[in-house]
Amino acid sequence: MRKKIIAGNWKMNMTPSQAVALCAELKDLVKNDDVDVVYCVPAIDIVPVVNALKGTNVKVGAENMYFEEKGAFTGEISAAMLKDAGVEYVIIGHSERRDYFKEDDALLNKKVKKAIEAGLTPILCCGETLEQREMGITMDWIRMQIKSDLAGVAAADVAKLVIAYEPIWAIGTGKTATTAQAEEVCGGIRACIEEIYDKATAEAVRIQYGGSVNAANAAELFAEKDIDGGLVGGASLKADFGKIVCYNK
């Protein structure tokens, strides 16, 4: 059985002092031994959040990283820096990074490989626009993303990473893919991994759903056989995140 993983993506929210306060507020609400819980926080919040979460069940993730080890890359943060600061997970290829900052699959492939090399667990994002869904090319598009982003990555490493399916049309819009739509694509991603690698790798990799996950729909989504948790945006900044994490109680 794959252990569920529920990660909060704070995006560009929370000053360091606000982040510490939120950790304190959520501390007793996100206790669930059946679930791996991760807060993916802005870079400036990483050190205070790591300190605030010591002794809890929550791990810390970053929202982005660069693939170079060090050098003249003003404003970027390396995988080694994240690892040394206490980070265990890193979001790679979120649709906002792909869209606003024009990150392509060749770049993301380098980031995935560097994260793995540094001992970080990538949360690799993929997803389609509303236009692509209406054109009927959802799985073609996502399969291309997965194959490109994981090119040259070993099966043993893929088995340990996390893939997050986020339909772009459902991020921050209040719209949610139906449970059947989410399960269909997450199952399609698993089938793609089996095609590239093997059945054991496909069965091991954890696949999240992201896109307006909330306390009301979490239990239904996470009950599906191919949905192994969620990448949660706005709802991760509220006390309701505890209800999402404790969906099974």
Q: What is the mean pLDDT of the chain?
A: 96
Contacts of 16 (CB under 8 A, 6+ apart): 44, 45, 48
Q: What is the mean pLDDT of residues 139-165?
A: 98
pLDDT of residue 122: 98
Q: Is 114 a residue whose pLDDT tops 90? A: yes
pLDDT of residue 174: 74
For the entire predicted model, the pTM comes to 0.97
| Residue 24: band (very low, low, confident or very high) from pLDDT cuts 50, 70, 90 | very high
C-beta pairs of 44-47 under 8 Å, 24+ apart in sequence: 44/15, 44/16, 45/10, 45/14, 45/15, 45/16, 45/19, 46/82, 46/85, 46/86, 46/87, 47/85, 47/86
Domains, the chain, with CATH or none? 4-245 (3.20.20.70)
Digit-coded pLDDT (tens) for 189-230: 999 999 999 999 999 999 999 988 999 999 999 999 999 999
Q: Which residues are catalytic?
A: 94, 166
